[in-house]
Chains A and B, each alone.
Chain A
Amino acid sequence: MNLISSKRFGRSARHAMALILLFTVSRVSADWQLNMREGVTDISRAVYDLHMVIFWICVVIAIIVFGVMLYSVIYHRKSRGAKAHNFHENVYVEIAWTVIPMVILIGMAVPATGTLIKMYDAKEADIDIQITGYQWKWRYQYLESGVDFFSSLATPAEQINNEEAKTETYLLEVDNPLVIPVGKKIRFLITANDVIHSWWVPDFAVKKDAIPGFINESWTVAEKPGIYRGQCAELCGKDHGFMPIVVEVKSAEDYEEWIKQQQLAQAQKAKSAQKRWSLDELMVTGKEVYDKSCAACHQANGAGIPGVFPALKGSPIVQGDPAAHIDMVLNGKAGTAMQAFRDQLSAAEIAAVITYERNAWGDALGDIISPSQIAKMKQ
C-alpha cells in the first residue's frame, strides 16, 4: 500500500518537473524541445501566447482536481480507518462547477476569437505565390514575376537507408527553396495536383490544406530573415513524410536579386534546349534528374516495385520506339501514379533523363534524344 502512495508522489513530481521545464523553455536544444516555437510572425507569436494561456489554465485546473484526488487517495482509504460518508448530491456545488468552467471557457474564447479574426485579415498583399502540392513535392509559381519551379526533398537516399550519416537538416532540406522578402505581406494560393496535401511552416503558423480542384488562401508577414522549415501535413501517399517545405526569407534587395536570377535561369534553360548535347552530357544530367524525379518509384536500378511501379530496365517502352517513351514522360499515364513531367522538367532535363533510361542498364541502345526535339513538343 505504501508503495502505491509513493508511486503517486513520483507521478506528481514528474508532472511538476515537466511544468517547470516548459516554463523555462522556449529555446531549449531542439532535441529535447518540449514546447511550440514562437515563430517569426505576428500571428505565430499570437498563436504561441494563446497556446501558453490555455496550457496554464489547464495546468491549474489539473493541479486542483488531481490534488483533491491525491488527498482522498491518501486520507480517505479504508486501511487508514476512514469511514464512508453518506452524501451523494449537492445542487449548489453542481451549479458552481458547471458555471465556473463556463466562465473560464468564455475567458479563453475571447482571445482565441481575436487571434482567429487576425488570421483572416484581408489587407492587400505585396506578393502572390501559387503553391501546388504534388505527390511528392511542391511547386511554387510567383504570379507577378513568372518564376516557376518545383521543390523536392534533397536528402540523398543513402542517408535515409542508413548508409551514410544524416546531416542536421535531414529530411528538412530541398533543392529549390521558396524565397520571400522580409516584412512584406505574402499571399499564398494553395492547391493540389492529385490528392490532398497540406502546406505547413510552423515558424509562420501557416497551415492550409491543398485540395485538388480548389484554391485555398493563406498569408504571412515574416519579420526576420532566415531559413524556415516545415513539412506536408496531410497523408498523401507513400512519401508523405518526404516532401518538406523550406522558405528562405531574404532582405528586399536580395529578394529582387534572386527573382532576376531565377528569371535569367529559366530563360537559359529554354535556350539550353537549342544547343547540341553530347551523349555523355545527357547521361550525366540524365542520371541527376533520374535520381531526383524517377528513382522514388522506379528505383535507382530501374527495377521498379513489382505490381506497384513498373520496371524500366528491359521495359518495352524504354527499349522500343522513342516516341512512346517521350510521350509517357511528357504526358504521364492517366489513371496511374505516372505524372506528366512536361511542366516539371525543362526540355533538356527531359531529353537527358530519357536518354539515360535508354542507355543506363545493360542494353545500351546508344539512342540520343535531343533537347531541341523535346522543346518542339513542349512548346
Chain B
Amino acid sequence: MMNQTKSQTKSHKKLIIQLLLGTVGMFGFGFALVPLYDVFCRITGINGKLDLTPGVYQANGVSGREIKIQFIAVNNESMPWAFKPKDSSLRVKLGQTYQTAYWAENLTPNYMVAQAVPSVSPSDAAQYLEKVDCFCFNRQPLNAGEQREMGLAFNVLAGMPAHIKTITLSYTLFDITAASDKSVASND
C-alpha cells in the first residue's frame, strides 16, 4: 500500500469492485436457482418421484391400453394411525381419470396431524401418473379416535411407454403434529 503507483491503486480498485460484484452475483444466483430449478425440472422431466401438485386434467384421449396400478400404505417410524388403501389394486385404462381412496384412523388419545408422501415405482412411470386431486396435497389432522376416508383422483397419461405394465403408488404417513399449527383448519 505504501509505494503503490496511481495506476496500481486504480487497478486494485477495479479488482475489488469486480470481486464484490461477483460475490453479490453469486448470492443472487443462489436465489435465482429457485425458479430456475422449476424450469430445469420441467424441461428435463426429472422430479417425477415426488409430485405434490395437482395435475391439470389432460384430455389426451383414452388409449385403451390397460395397466395395473397397486396402492400401498406405509406408516413412517412410530406413526400410530391405521392407514389402508380402499383398493389394493385397480386395472385402469390410460388417459382416463379414476377415483379411489385411503382410509386413516387416529388410534391414539391425542390430536395429531399427518402428512402423506407419495412415491411411485418404477421411477419412469412417475411423470405419467397425474394426481388430479390427492389427500397428499394437504395436511391431515385427526382428533383422537377420529377416522376419515381420503380421496384420490388420478389419471395415468396415455403417453406412458409400453414396457410399463404395473405401477405401484405408495403413500408414507408422517407424523407432523409437532411441526404444525394446531389452530389451522383441516384443509389448508
Contacts and interface: CB of A to CB of B under 8 A. Distances in A.
Interface of A: 122-125, 128, 130, 132, 143-144, 187, 189, 191, 193-194, 212-217, 327, 330-335, 338-340, 342-343, 377-379
B107 interface: yes
Given A193-B76, A213-B119, A333-B78, 8 more contacts: A122-B122, A122-B163, A122-B164, A191-B170, A194-B76, A194-B77, A331-B108, A340-B79
A213 B72 CA distance: 12
A375 to B, nearest CB: 12
A213 B88 contact: no
Contact of B166 (A124, A132, A332): A124
B168 A379 contact: no
B99 interface: no
A332 B78 contact: yes
A340 B70 contact: no
B172 A125 contact: no
Nearest to A134: B77
Nearest to A216: B121
B102 interface: no
Contact of B121 (A124, A217, A331): A217
B175 A334 contact: yes
A151 B78 CA distance: 18
B165 interface: yes
Nearest to B120: A215
B77 A332 contact: yes
A130 B170 CA distance: 10
Contacts of A379: 82, 105, 107
Contact of B80 (A124, A194, A213, A340): A340
Nearest to A336: B78
Interface string B77-111: 11110100000110000000000000001011100
Contacts of B168: 128, 189, 215, 217
Nearest to B72: A130
A304 B121 CA distance: 40
Nearest to A146: B88
Listed residue (B76, B78, B88) with the most chain A CB atoms within 10 angstroms of its CB: B78
Contact of A124 (B77, B122, B165): B165
B121 A213 contact: no
A193 B170 CA distance: 13
28 contacts: A123-B165, A124-B165, A125-B166, A128-B168, A187-B166, A189-B170, A191-B74, A193-B75, A193-B76, A193-B77, A212-B77, A213-B76, A214-B49, A214-B172, A215-B72, A215-B121, A217-B121, A330-B80, A331-B78, A331-B107, A331-B108, A332-B77, A334-B78, A339-B77, A339-B78, A340-B80, A343-B75, A379-B82
Given A128-B70, A334-B178, A377-B107, A217 B122 contact: yes
A327 B144 CA distance: 13
Contacts of B172: 191, 212-214
Contacts of A132: 74
B72 A189 contact: yes
A60 to B, nearest CB: 37
Contacts of A194: 76-77
Contacts of B70: 128, 143, 189
A115 to B, nearest CB: 17
Interface string B151-182: 00000000000011110101010110110000
B164 to A, nearest CB: 6
A151 B168 CA distance: 23
Contacts of A333: 78
